[in-house]
Structure formats: structure tokens, C-alpha cells
Amino acid sequence: MAKYEIRGGTPLTGTVTISGAKNAAVAILPAALLVKGVCRVENVPDIADVRILLDILADMGAVVTRQDDGVVLLDCTNITNLNPNPELVRKMRASYYLMGALLSRFGKAEVALPGGCSFASRPIDQHIKGFRMLGAKVRETEDYVYLETGAGGLQGNRIVLDVVSVGATVNIILAASLLPGQTIIENAAKEPHIVDLANFLNTMGAKISGAGTDTVKIKGVAELHGGSYAIIPDQIEAGTYIAAAAATRGNVLVKNVIPKHMDCITSKLQEMGATITNYDDAIRVQCNERLVSTKVKTRPYPGFPTDMQAQICVCMATAEGVSQLTESVYETRFFGYCSELENMGAKIEINGKTAMVTGKETLKGTTVHARDLRAGAALIIAGLIASGTTYVENIHYVERGYEHIIEKLQALGADIRRIEE
């Protein structure tokens, strides 16, 4: 087991370059299953979730070539095994996108239920509802989902989602792309990675419009062809470094970002006293003084992302005054890290969906345990602020989604290292 050792107290300074977006990559790579031909995908982050997905696809017969420069070549023309390896599927969340992709291309799928970060109950009823509305016959067991073409065949339909779900929106886009007729998703998620997936598929010949709004239209096409596509920068990775720079009272230029995607995060840090300067594809964050308290409520995009809840909570934990943090996407997400932050001296009172965070002058280093990806990132930021030494355990969660995090933080002056035990 490995862990991170962090000696806190150094403001982050310098430049960090953001990698390709995890949650776009994990949708786009399975989307290559729809394509006959070679997909050249640039800006693919080298993180555990991507490695697992590529292993799953290779095991299914895809020809996968990973280059050093973040480029992946994927040829899914000749898929020979329609049963994704269940052990690999259970190692991550986004493997559920194999369901939509296989259904669209082959009219059937047998996929184990996914694993991944379990900070809340994460139902997939909206994905299943979508598949059924497209004509699939669905059978669910305790650990598997079986999809096949129903008696009336598969075809486009209008699907109104009960909740705004990234996963269901992606899965329905995948499932509908090769079906006859038009599919309309109402109450669709609007996250940047939904737009990225649609742009990828359109580059390969799909006919998807409206991505980024709450109505997405997919006109099914008979076949998709190969092509080249670059994944967008990771909004949450960028937000994590921006929060870390502000919390350590640093001065960091965060490169390779789309500033518009960051507004929901940077506007909050600005309110807390950080100076934010937007450039075309970079953001500078500077902070010379203690942050001040604020009020944040997580919401689907373009609201403040739930995936930044834990990182902003650390900023609040040492800000002056009492902050209010409300979670509206995953109610139980506080339990992944708040008790760990309390062990470091933070004062957090959770009442249902809301945490009241009383800012302390500083935090103190101790051993803490990551229980999910973003919780782990937040504990690293806490360690960077804290006095003394912090050990972050369970770092496999962090390595699921942050490319070269240790090297990037070291380059910003952080005293952090990975220890193998």
C-alpha cells in the first residue's frame, strides 16, 4: 500500500498544466465502440480509470495503441467478445457506458454493475429507463444488467429524465446514436463532458444537437467512421489546483483550461478573497491573505460542482468566519472526508444536506484516509495547509482521477511525496 506524505505550510507557486478531462475520457473511450475505423483521441489522461477502460476494450477485441504524448488510437471495428470482463468493470463507475455503446452497436449487452467511488447510493434507474424507452428488453440481477433488443426493435424515442443525470444522459446518447429515428432527451445534464462526448461522436459522423442544453437531440445514423479528436481540459482537476493555490495563499498559473467552465468555481474563490485573472486558456489565482467565509450550494452544471465540494470545504476550514456548504446532488458526500478534516482540527457541523464550517487559523497534520477520489484530493489540500506532517492513505482513489498529481504539486513547490509501504 502506498500513501502520500505532505509537509504543509508552503504556498503553491508556479505553473501547472491541466490534463484531459477524466469524465469526458471515460465517456469518449467507450463511445469508440460505436465506430468502425480508427479513433485517434488526444489529451487522454494517464489515470487508473482510463487504464482499466482501455484494458476492458482491448479484452473485447479493440486494437488499442497508447502513445506517450496522451494520444490513444482505438480501433473497435472487430469486436470479438461482447462480454466486458466483470472484474475490470467492477473496478470503476463509468464502465456502465459499455451498456449504451454495446446496445447501440450490437443490439445487446451483458455488463456487470459498476464499482467506483461509493460516497452515496448511486442508482442507474434513469439509464435503464432510457434503454427501455429505446426498445430494449432489460433484465437486472443483483450484480449484472442484461440488455437485448425488444420485440418491437430498437428505435429513437423521446425520453424525459426524472433527475438530471450525467451518466444517464451519456448512456442514452451512446445507445441512440446508431438507432433508426430521432431520440430527444429532456432534462438532460449540461456538463462540459456531455458536450465533449457529442462533439466526439459528431466528428465520427453522428448527428447530435443541443448538447450543453437541457434538450439533446440524436438523429440515429447507420454507421460511424474513424477520425481524430482532442478531449477538453479537466474542469475538476483545474478547480482542485485553483482551490489548493487559494488555500495555501499561493500564486499559480493554471494552464490548459477553458475559463468559462471554471466560472462556477472561480467566482466562489473570488468571493472568498482570491484574485482570479482569466486568460484565453489559462487562469491565474493569487491569494495573499486569509480567505473569508462564503456560502456554496452544489448543483448540476453550470452550478457549483459536487465534485468540488470537498476541496472548497478545505478552503472554508481555514477561512475567516463561518461558511455554509450545502450538497444537493449526493447527500452523503460529507461523510467521505469531514471526519478526517476534523481529525486535522477543522470545525464542521453537518445537519442533513448542509455543513457549517467554522474557519480555524490553521489545520494540523495527522494520518487521514481518503474514501473517494475528491475526498482524497481535499485531504491533500488540507495537508498542504496544515502544520506538521500529514499522511494521506488509500491513495488509489486519488490516482483513479488525477494525472501525475505528485509531480504537478512538487513543481509548484509542495513538499509532498509518495511512499511505498
Q: What is the footprint of ligand EPU within residues 161-180 (CB under 6 A)?
A: 163, 165-168
Which amino acid is located at 136 in the chain? A
Kindly indicate which of the ranges 158-166, 203-211, 363-371, 391-399 contains the residues binding ligand EPU, using the contact rule CB under 6 A: 158-166
Using CB under 6 A as the binding rule, whether residue 307 contacts ligand EPU is answered as: yes
Residue number with CB closer to ligand EPU (117 or 175): 117
Using CB under 6 A as the binding rule, whether residue 316 contacts ligand EPU is answered as: no
What track of x and - describes contact with ligand EPU for positions 362 through 381 (by CB under 6 A)? -----------xx-------
Using DSSP's 3-state secondary structure scheme, residue 209 falls into strand
Q: Which cell goes with 178?
A: 446508431
Using CB under 6 A as the binding rule, whether residue 126 contacts ligand EPU is answered as: yes
Using CB under 6 A as the binding rule, whether residue 344 contacts ligand EPU is answered as: no
Using CB under 6 A as the binding rule, whether residue 395 contacts ligand EPU is answered as: no
> Is residue 283 within 8 Å of residue 254, measured between CB atoms?
yes
- The least distance separating ligand EPU from the CB of residue 307, rounded to whole angstroms, comes to 5
Using CB under 6 A as the binding rule, whether residue 127 contacts ligand EPU is answered as: yes
Using CB under 6 A as the binding rule, whether residue 223 contacts ligand EPU is answered as: no
Cβ-based neighbours of 303, under 8 Å, separated by 6 or more: 264, 297
Report the alpha-carbon distance of residue 154 to residue 253 in Å, rounded.
49
Using CB under 6 A as the binding rule, whether residue 122 contacts ligand EPU is answered as: yes
Bridge partner list, 296: 325
- The least distance separating ligand EPU from the CB of residue 55, rounded to whole angstroms, comes to 17
Report the alpha-carbon distance of residue 46 to residue 120 in Å, rounded.
26
Interface residue with ligand EPU among 33, 48, 94, 216 (CB under 6 A) is 94
Q: What is the footprint of ligand EPU within residues 240-299 (CB under 6 A)?
A: none
Report the alpha-carbon distance of residue 215 to residue 22 in Å, rounded.
24
Interface residue with ligand EPU among 329, 375, 379, 409 (CB under 6 A) is 329
- The least distance separating ligand EPU from the CB of residue 400, rounded to whole angstroms, comes to 8
Interface residue with ligand EPU among 124, 204, 247, 378 (CB under 6 A) is 124
The region, left, alpha or beta by phi > 0 then psi within -120 to 50, assigned to residue 228 is beta
Q: List strands edge to edge, sheet with 72-75.
A: 63-66, 72-75, 35-42, 224-230
Residue 338 known to be catalytic? no
Size of the site for ligand EPU (CB under 6 A): 25
Nearest 5°: CA angle at 304, between 277 and 257? 40
Q: Which of 39, 117, 287, 313 is catalytic?
A: 117
Report the alpha-carbon distance of residue 359 to residue 346 in Å, rounded.
7
Query: Whose CA is closest to 50, among 105, 90, 92, 1?
Result: 92
Kindly indicate which of the ranges 22-30, 268-276, 284-292, 313-321 contains the residues binding ligand EPU, using the contact rule CB under 6 A: 22-30
Residue number with CB closer to ligand EPU (306 or 318): 306
Using CB under 6 A as the binding rule, whether residue 309 contacts ligand EPU is answered as: no
Instruction: Report CA 50 to chain centroid distance, whole Å.
Output: 12
- Strand pairing category for 35-42 and 13-17: unpaired
Using CB under 6 A as the binding rule, whether residue 117 contacts ligand EPU is answered as: yes
Interface residue with ligand EPU among 18, 26, 174, 380 (CB under 6 A) is 26
Q: How many CA atoms lie within 13 A of 65 on its CB side?
A: 6
Specify burial of residue 362 (Cβ count, 10 A radius: 0-12, 13-18, 19+).
Answer: middle
Report the alpha-carbon distance of residue 125 to residue 113 in Å, rounded.
12
Residue number with CB closer to ligand EPU (170 or 316): 170
| Catalytic (active-site) positions | 117
Binding site for ligand EPU (CB under 6 A): 22-23, 26, 93-94, 117, 122-127, 163, 165-168, 189, 306-307, 329-330, 373-374, 401
